[in-house]
Amino acid sequence: MHEWALAEAVIKAASEIAEKEKLAEVTELDIKIGELQQVERPILQFALKQLKPANFKNTKFKITKAKTQLKCRNCGNTWLFQKQKLDPTTREAIHFIPEVAHTYIKCPRCGSPDFEITEGRGIWLETVKGTR
């Protein structure tokens, strides 16, 4: 389950920030997930709760989806990825093999499948709140 690996990475990153900011306790983590990063939020939430260290015992984990912006390498067009425009089979395929995204997603202007993710890649920490 990659949710566990992600939860571990989130806790590790948040712990490093807490240490740097000298936070005795972390009260809230705002976690953003890019739309192309397929994550089962309940599993991630559960994994975070299981893995959290002592100074995270009252932490509220806020997990929200973030917009993903794509940029065409062929014509330079940028657009927002919208998953609802894909059919369910395609969504499943992307879920299991993120690399196939390039087969299904094409530039709406020129039709090229050669794009890069310019915003909303993967999973990241938007804010770390805590008490000193």
* Interaction site with Zn ion (CB under 5 A): 72, 74-75, 77, 107, 109-110, 112
DSSP label at 75?
A: T
Minimum Å gap between C-beta 68 and Zn ion is 16
CB of 110 to Zn ion, least distance (A): 3
The DSSP output letter for 59 is: -
Which CB sits closer to Zn ion, 112 or 131?
Answer: 112
d(CA 118, CA 66): 13
CB of 114 to Zn ion, least distance (A): 8
Q: Pick the closer one to Zn ion by CB: 55 or 77.
A: 77
Q: Which positions ≥6 away from 24 have C-beta within 8 Å?
A: 55, 130, 131, 132
